Structure 1
Amino acid sequence: MIYILRITGGSQVAKTSEIASRLGVSPASVSEMLGNLADEGMVEYEKYKGVSLTEKGFEYAKHLREKHQVMERFLVDVLDANEDVAHEEACRTEHVISDESAGRMCKILGTNEHCGCGCSIQCDVPENSRTLDKAVIGRRYIISHLKGGNPDQIKKLISMGFVPSVEVKLVDRMLPDGPLVVYIGGVHLAIENTLASFVYTR
């Protein structure tokens, strides 16, 4: 579906041979696949003339592409995977990963409709999020998402336990702009003020 979207842009007709070349399979296999997609109302397909996406197929393909992009970015930016490997992994799993899991990746990446990435995956990021560096001493918060910083900083936060849906409490500030002492995951941790500014809470 994504390959058809890439070739057609959502409005043009794609040739069976072109899709087969992109997928590395035989035209006969593509014809069979397109027949099945046509039965499901995803494409309009006429043998020897090509295929185009229906409105239903376009929306489905666009959603798959968004999940692919989120997964690919997560593997590269957070897990430090090779870009080619990340692309192949995303291709294999984009059809089976749930919207909930993709949404959690969105939260960690900080990519959602509020920051303008155009992703339609429901990330459930509250508009009134407060960064941890602005938290009130003694108050408990729930981490909503991580945003900002570089991949190494995000990976460090994740390794410390700062992930969406986890509760965190600000215990103390060592200096006005110095490290913070927080209680998270049953332990007290010191976190740099800069890193704390990448942790969004509600």
Structure 2
Amino acid sequence: MDLSPIAEDYLTVIYRLESEHGRPVRTAEIGDEIGVTAPSVTSMLDNLNEEGLVDYTPYEGVELTEEGELVVRRLIRNHRLLETFLTDHLGYDWTEVHEEADRLEHHVSDELARRLSAFLGDPATDSHGDPIPNADLTMPEETPYTPLSECEAGETVVVEQVPHRDPDVREFLSDAGVGPGTRITIDDVPPVDLLIVELESEGHTVTLPIRVARRIGTRSVDDRVY
């Protein structure tokens, strides 16, 4: 099936919103994410529904079909393999690769993805710590990371997974010196939705909003495999 990049973007947005909300996705939510009008969303959903990629009922919402989910998992696999290649072999920083991979993911064949994965050593996670679907498009089990927000004062952990889709959050973490591999110690957890951590490599403390710390995956230094 030949899909345009914009059609694939619609499916990806539906996949993510379904995962976040656990319910059918509203057309207004899709329009807000993609930045298009309601009639444009409705037209695309009608087309995707005819292709058997979504189940769409006007005024009730839209869900991916099994076939639609497979399309998205293929895109996720392409995207995360590309991010890993760009950071590991082309010198990109983890903060730079998301948009590059967004542009390229639509043009990767299954054969190229297979060869790229083999070249990278068939990684289970990408450069941000997110799981990579395997060649059968099976998503690995949830990664065994502990959200930074759940760590206790005095605990030392290593950052394994970082949020990177939101440019503002990405820039904030980069400026603070927090990224994959950063070793930090929890200094304090004030009762005001903040977390104070000390960065071992930088030798200074950083205050993180709990809403950001909740999206940072960590592993205890005692559990980390080197």
Amino acid in structure 2 at the alignment position of 1:2:
T
Question: Does residue 1:53 correspond to 2:64, yes or no?
Answer: yes
Report the alpha carbon displacement of residue 53 of structure 1 after superposing the two structures with TM.
0.6
Question: Does residue 1:64 correspond to 2:75, yes or no?
Answer: yes
Amino acid in structure 1 at the alignment position of 2:44:
M
* Conserved 8 A contact 2:80-2:132: no
With 70-79 and 38-47 compared, the bigger mean Cα shift is at 70-79
Amino acid in structure 2 at the alignment position of 1:80:
G
Question: Does residue 1:93 correspond to 2:104, yes or no?
Answer: yes
Q: RMSD across aligned C-alpha pairs, in angstroms? A: 2.5
Alignment of 1:21-60 (within 5 A): 21-60=32-71
Report the alpha carbon displacement of residue 48 of structure 1 after superposing the two structures with TM.
2.2
Determine the C-alpha separation between the residues in 1 that align with 2:66 and 2:60.
Answer: 19
Unaligned runs of 5+ in 1: 123-202
Residues 94-143 of structure 1: per-residue CA shift (max 9 Å, x gap): 22211111122212221257xx9552269xxxxxxxxxxxxxxxxxxxxx
Q: Which residue does 1:12 correspond to in 2? A: 23
* Conserved 8 A contact 2:78-2:113: yes
Q: Which residue does 1:119 correspond to in 2? A: 134
Determine the C-alpha separation between the residues in 1 that align with 2:119 and 2:90.
Answer: 12
With 78-87 and 12-21 compared, the bigger mean Cα shift is at 78-87
* Conserved 8 A contact 2:53-2:65: yes
- Bigger-Rg structure (1/2): 1
Unaligned runs of 5+ in 2: 1-10, 125-130, 138-226
Residues 62-86 of structure 1: per-residue CA shift (max 9 Å, x gap): 1221111111221222212244542
* Conserved 8 A contact 2:76-2:132: no
Determine the C-alpha separation between the residues in 2 that align with 1:111 and 1:21.
Answer: 35
SS in 1 for 2:56: strand
Kindly tell me the number of residue pairs found equivalent between the two proteins: 120
Q: Percent identity?
A: 38
* Conserved 8 A contact 1:68-1:94: yes
Q: Which residue does 2:117 correspond to in 1? A: 106
* Conserved 8 A contact 2:114-2:135: no
Report the alpha carbon displacement of residue 21 of structure 1 after superposing the two structures with TM.
1.7
